[in-house]
Structure 1
Amino acid sequence: MLWYHVIFLALIQGLTEFLPISSSAHLILPSQLLGWPDQGLAFDVAVHVGTLVAVVGYFWRDVSLIIRDTVGGLFTHRHTENSRLGMWVVLATIPAVIVGLLFNSVIEQYLRSIEVIAYTTIGFGVLLWISDRFASYHKQQNDLTWSRVLIIGLAQALALIPGTSRSGITMTAARFLGFSRECSARFSFLLSIPIILAAGSLKTFELLTAESVVPIDYQSLGWGIVLSGISAYLCIHLFLKWLSRIGFLPFMIYRLILGFGLLWLVMVSG
């Protein structure tokens, strides 16, 4: 990749991983629309590391308390709000892991087209706005139950389809269940930690077991980690700061513009 490919893709990964606009779609589109070379598995792993460091760093206090109380609860059988949250995060992660292991190859082969991205971008964008506009929103973290968490987890599994947006679909599910914007976003971001870790581990395994050996540009990987990490950290901070004021309408508008723009490109090129 050229230097501006590295900068653009790293920033795109950092900015879109936590916004409800689909990072996978934005990483797929440059190669399909602009003819850029595929960034490869090594670069995908690098930018996932950057976003993982960002979200763990931003929620470091929460993560440390969750791990401490969850591990401690296994021995003392005493559960706190943090240990319950840790169990909820694990439960909500299971559906996406199962679906990813079973259908990853099918998704990679058949669902990475511009048309699929366009329709999911539009459809789930509208659904996000509807959940924010018409659903009640009084529930907070202590209102999480296993059934509600499982619904959010099942919704998260849909994010394996490019264009859906992992953060977008989990916030949509949480909003439909009546959780506040801030609670929906915070739980979605905490859910991203095991999912990004799992995705990065899978890509690393694929890289290590690949039959063909591709030279790795470690300088590009380093810049990918740094730029995706910084942009992701700033994105989380600003999103949580502005969410209560702006809501999800701006993201729906962006998704509609992007989705219909992609459909127009498909029409004129087909």
Structure 2
Amino acid sequence: MAAQGAELGCLLALLLLTLLCGLLPARLRGATAAHGRRPVCRPAEPRGPWLSALGAAAGGVFLAACLLDVVPDYLGEMREALRARRIQVSFPLAELVLALGFLLVLVLERAALECGERRARAPGEAAPLLPAPAAPAPAPFRALAMLLALSLHSVLEGLAVGLQAVPARALRVCAAILLHKAVIAVGLSLLLLRSRVATRCFVASVAAFALMSPLGIVLGMGLSQSRGPSAALAQCLLQGLAAGTFLYVTFLEILPHELSAARGRLPQVLALLLGFSAMVTLRFLG
């Protein structure tokens, strides 16, 4: 009962903190009214210095989360799962799953872009009034891809809490996840805002992301009686696909977009290093 009470407290804390951090950037930016309209094709709006710096810091957060959290955690857990199943392979299986997640997003994105271009080239289709900007805002598809990757990773994080049998251990794991989720929620919120999604889609995306870790806790509490090597291996396969997706969007979407500005290059780099250093510190302390 004590363990279940601690896990339920972790569930509420993760839900409320993620909602707060995810909705705060929109509140500060005052973008709720602007995102109530349907997005149109237009050049990216110039960002103020504080928002540009915050976006660059979010890029550093995602870079550190990718290289120091998502990928190494997955590789370590995959090796443990294979060892538990007594599977010995010389082929880099864990890296293959990671690459498949990367290629999955690449194929889906290219297919979606190709379908959109074919519709634009159809006879009678009106041409856009304005040319595409040199540094366009992130496409909603890419933002949703990042949302899916982060959501799956959040479910697995919640599982780590829900599977704990000792209350003190569950609280320690939850404390580390709380710090991680706070900065990740801010970065995801900024990505969604720059994608110019509608207000309903933005709020629904943040709410869905906030629910993922609590969902993982509930699943972990239910699966705590039926843990085994096969379940751990299946979990690692899903985590590997999510890590590959995270890798793709981090390096081919977030960082190129944040570093493409023609002005304020040095402040952006400094902000990126600050966000990266913050995640390194949290990882070191956690």
Higher relative contact order (CA 8 A, sep 6+): 2
Sort the TM-score into its range (normalised by shorter chain).
Answer: 0.3 to 0.5
TM-score, structure 2 normalization: 0.39
Higher radius of gyration, 1 or 2: 2
